[in-house]
Amino acid sequence: MDLSSSVLELKGVGEKTAITLNKIGVYTIRDILLHFPYNYILYPDPIEFPEIQEDTLVAVQGIVGTKPYFKGGRLQMVTATITDGTNKLPVCWYHTPYIRHSLNTGESYIFYGKVRNRNGRFTLEQPAVFSEEDYQKQQKTLQPIYHLTPGLTNKGFGKLASQTLQFARQMQDYLSDELKERRNLVDLSTAYVQAHFPKDFDELLAARKRLAFDEFFLFLLKIELLKTEKVKSLYRMQGQETILEEANKLPFTLTEGQHTALLDILNDMSSDTPMQRLLQGDVGSGKTVLAFLSMLYATTNGYQSALMAPTEVLARQHYEKLLAFCKEHAPFTNVYLLTGSIPAGQKKKIKQALLLDPTAMVVGTHALLTEDVSLNNLGLVITDEQHRFGVNQRQTLTEKGSLPHILVMSATPIPRTLALILYGDLDISVIKTVPRNRLPIKNCVVKRSYRKTAYEFMYKQISSGHQVYVICPLVEEREESDSADVGTYSALLEKYFKETNREVTIDCLHGKMRPQKKQEVMDRFALGEIQILVSTTVVEVGVDVPNATVMMVENAERFGLAQLHQLRGRVGRGDFQSYCIFVDGKAGSQKNERLEILNTSNDGFYIAEQDLKLRGPGDVFGIRQSGELDFQIADIYHDSDLLKDASWEAKEILKKDPTLSEAVHQPLHPILGI
Ligand code: ADP
Ligand code: MG
Q: How far is the CA of 298 from the centre of ligand 1 (A)?
A: 21
pLDDT at residue 496 is higher than 90: yes
Nearest residue CA, atom 5 of ligand 1?
Answer: 286
pLDDT at residue 541 is higher than 70: no
pLDDT at residue 63 is higher than 80: yes
Give the pLDDT of residue 226.
73
CB 595 within 8 Å of CB 445? yes
Mutation probe of ligand 1 site: the residue of 248, 252, 292, 383 with most atoms within 8 A of C-beta:
252
Q: How far is the CA of 543 from the centre of ligand 2 (A)?
A: 7
Which atom, in ligand 1's list, is nearest to the CA of 289?
6
Q: How far is the CA of 282 from the centre of ligand 2 (A)?
A: 9
Q: How far is the CA of 582 from the centre of ligand 2 (A)?
A: 22
Domain with CATH 3.40.50.300 in the chain: 240-431, 442-605
| Element (DSSP H or E) covering residue 608 | helix 604-614
Give the pLDDT of residue 621.
54
Which pairing describes strands 57-64 and 77-83: parallel, antiparallel, or unpaired? antiparallel
Of the candidates 98, 96, 105, the one whose C-alpha atom is nearest the C-alpha of residue 113 is 96
Please compute Rg for the chain using Cα positions: 27
Burial class (CB in 10 A: 0-12, 13-18, 19+), 285: buried
Nearest residue CA, atom 4 of ligand 1?
Answer: 287
User: How many angstroms separate the CA atoms of 407 and 384, rounded?
Assistant: 9
The CATH superfamily of 240-431 is P-loop containing nucleotide triphosphate hydrolases (3.40.50.300)
pLDDT at residue 215 is higher than 80: yes
Of the candidates 337, 377, 339, 328, the one whose C-alpha atom is nearest the C-alpha of residue 357 is 377
pLDDT at residue 618 is higher than 50: no
Where does the pLDDT of residue 264 fall: very low under 50, low under 70, confident under 90, or very high at 90 and above? Answer: very high
132 versus 66: the higher-pLDDT residue is: 132
Domain with CATH 2.40.50.140 in the chain: 43-141
pLDDT at residue 432 is higher than 60: yes
Q: How far is the CA of 254 from the centre of ligand 1 (A)?
A: 9
Which range of 215-229, 368-382, 485-499, 534-548 scores highest in mean pLDDT? It is 485-499
User: How many angstroms separate the CA atoms of 267 and 260, rounded?
Assistant: 11
pLDDT tens digits for 375-418?
788 999 998 876 544 566 666 666 665 788 989 898 877 777 77
342 versus 425: the higher-pLDDT residue is: 342
Query: Which of 222-226, 350-354, 433-437, 612-616 has the lowest average pLDDT?
Result: 612-616
Which atom, in ligand 1's list, is nearest to the CA of 253?
23
pLDDT tens digits for 125-159?
999 999 999 999 888 888 898 988 888 888 899 99
Query: Which of 115-124, 201-210, 247-256, 600-609 has the lowest average pLDDT?
Result: 600-609
Of the candidates 624, 648, 650, the one whose C-alpha atom is nearest the C-alpha of residue 636 is 624
User: How many angstroms separate the CA atoms of 320 and 340, rounded?
Assistant: 17
Give the pLDDT of residue 397.
64
Share of the chain above pLDDT 70, in %: 90
pTM exceeds cut of 0.85: no
pLDDT at residue 627 is higher than 60: no
Which residue ranges have their beta carbon within 6 Å of ligand 1?
252-255, 258, 281, 283-289, 411, 435, 437, 542, 544, 546, 573
pLDDT at residue 160 is higher than 70: yes
Which pairing describes strands 378-384 and 405-410: parallel, antiparallel, or unpaired? parallel
Which range of 239-248, 279-288, 427-436, 549-558 scores highest in mean pLDDT? It is 239-248
Ligand nearest to the CA of 288: 1
243 versus 24: the higher-pLDDT residue is: 243
Give the pLDDT of residue 482.
54
Give the pLDDT of residue 617.
44
Alpha helix stretches (DSSP H) within 330-366: 344-355
Ligand nearest to the CA of 573: 1
Give the pLDDT of residue 384.
87
Nearest residue CA, atom 23 of ligand 1?
Answer: 254
Give the pLDDT of residue 390.
54
Give the pLDDT of residue 412.
75
Helix, strand, coil % over all residues of the chain, rounded to 5: 40, 20, 40
pLDDT tens digits for 18-60?
999 998 889 999 999 999 988 888 889 999 999 999 888 899 9
Mutation probe of ligand 1 site: the residue of 256, 289, 311, 570 with most atoms within 8 A of C-beta:
289
Give the pLDDT of residue 436.
76
Q: Does the domain made of 43-141 have the CATH classification 2.40.50.140?
A: yes
Q: How far is the CA of 245 from the centre of ligand 2 (A)?
A: 23
pLDDT at residue 530 is higher than 50: yes
Which atom, in ligand 1's list, is nearest to the CA of 285?
2
Ligand nearest to the CA of 253: 1
User: How many angstroms separate the CA atoms of 563 and 526, rounded?
Assistant: 22
Of the candidates 348, 392, 89, the one whose C-alpha atom is nearest the C-alpha of residue 222 is 392
Q: How far is the CA of 318 from the centre of ligand 1 (A)?
A: 12
Q: How far is the CA of 419 from the centre of ligand 2 (A)?
A: 19
The residues, any chain, with a CB within 8 Å of residue 502's CB and separated by 6 or more, are 459
| Three-state secondary-structure class, residue 341 | coil
Ligand nearest to the CA of 548: 1
Q: Which long-range contacts (CB under 8 A, 24 or more apart) does 335-338 make?
A: 335/360, 335/361, 335/362, 335/363, 336/360, 336/361, 336/362, 336/363, 337/362, 337/363, 337/364, 338/362, 338/363, 338/364, 338/367, 338/368, 338/371, 338/373
Share of the chain above pLDDT 90, in %: 49
Mutation probe of ligand 1 site: the residue of 544, 547, 549, 568 with most atoms within 8 A of C-beta:
544
Which atom, in ligand 1's list, is nearest to the CA of 283?
3
Mutation probe of ligand 1 site: the residue of 288, 386, 441 with most atoms within 8 A of C-beta:
288
Query: Which of 94-98, 102-106, 276-280, 368-372 has the lowest average pLDDT?
Result: 368-372
Ligand nearest to the CA of 279: 1
pLDDT at residue 443 is higher than 90: yes
pLDDT at residue 295 is higher than 60: yes
Q: How far is the CA of 568 from the centre of ligand 1 (A)?
A: 15
Q: How far is the CA of 285 from the centre of ligand 1 (A)?
A: 6
Distances in Å between the Cα of 606 and the Cα atoms of 157, 282, 413 are 38, 12, 9
Q: How far is the CA of 443 from the centre of ligand 1 (A)?
A: 21
pLDDT at residue 505 is higher than 90: yes
Q: How far is the CA of 519 from the centre of ligand 1 (A)?
A: 21
Ligand nearest to the CA of 570: 1
Ligand nearest to the CA of 569: 1
Nearest residue CA, atom 15 of ligand 1?
Answer: 286
The CATH number of the structural domain formed by 442-605 is 3.40.50.300
Mean pLDDT of the chain: 86
Mean per-residue pLDDT, 560-567:
83
